[in-house]
Amino acid sequence: AALADITPDHPAGSYAACLALLTGQADVMVVPMPHTANAGLSAYLACANQDFIGIVGLTPVGRAFDRLPAIDVHALLRDVRPRRGEGVALRSVDGRDDATLTTRSDPLLGRSVLRLTRPVLDAAGAPGA
Identify whether 15 is part of a domain.
Answer: yes
Residue 123 is predicted with a pLDDT of 73
Domain count, the chain: 1
Identify the domain containing residue 45 by its residue range.
2-84
Q: How far apart are CA 114 and CA 45, in angstroms?
A: 16
What are the tens digits of pLDDT across the range 38-93?
667 888 888 877 899 999 888 899 999 999 888 899 999 999 888 888 889 888 77
Task: Name the pTM for this structure.
Answer: 0.79
Longest dimension (CA), the chain: 44
Q: What's the whole-number average pLDDT of the chain?
A: 83
Sign of the alpha-carbon dihedral angle for 58, 62, 64, 69: positive
Q: What is the pLDDT of residue 105?
A: 92
Structural domain contains residue 128? no
89 in a domain, yes or no? Answer: no
- Residue 120 placed within a domain: no
Q: Specify if 94 maps to a domain.
A: no
- Residue 90 located in a structural domain: no
Please give the Cα distance from 78 to 76 (Å, whole number).
Answer: 5
Categorize the per-residue pLDDT at 129 as very low, low, confident or very high, splitting at 50, 70 and 90. Answer: low
Is 99 contained in some domain?
A: no
* DSSP letter for each residue of 53-88: EEEESHHHHHHHHHHTTS--HHHHHHHHS--TT-SE
**Sign of the alpha-carbon dihedral angle for 38, 80, 101, 49:** positive
Asked if residue 22 is part of any domain, the answer here is yes
Q: Residue 63 — φ and ψ, nearest 5°?
A: -70, -35
pLDDT of residue 122: 73
In whole angstroms, how large is the CA radius of gyration of the chain? 15
- Does residue 69 have a cis bond before it (omega within 30 degrees)? yes
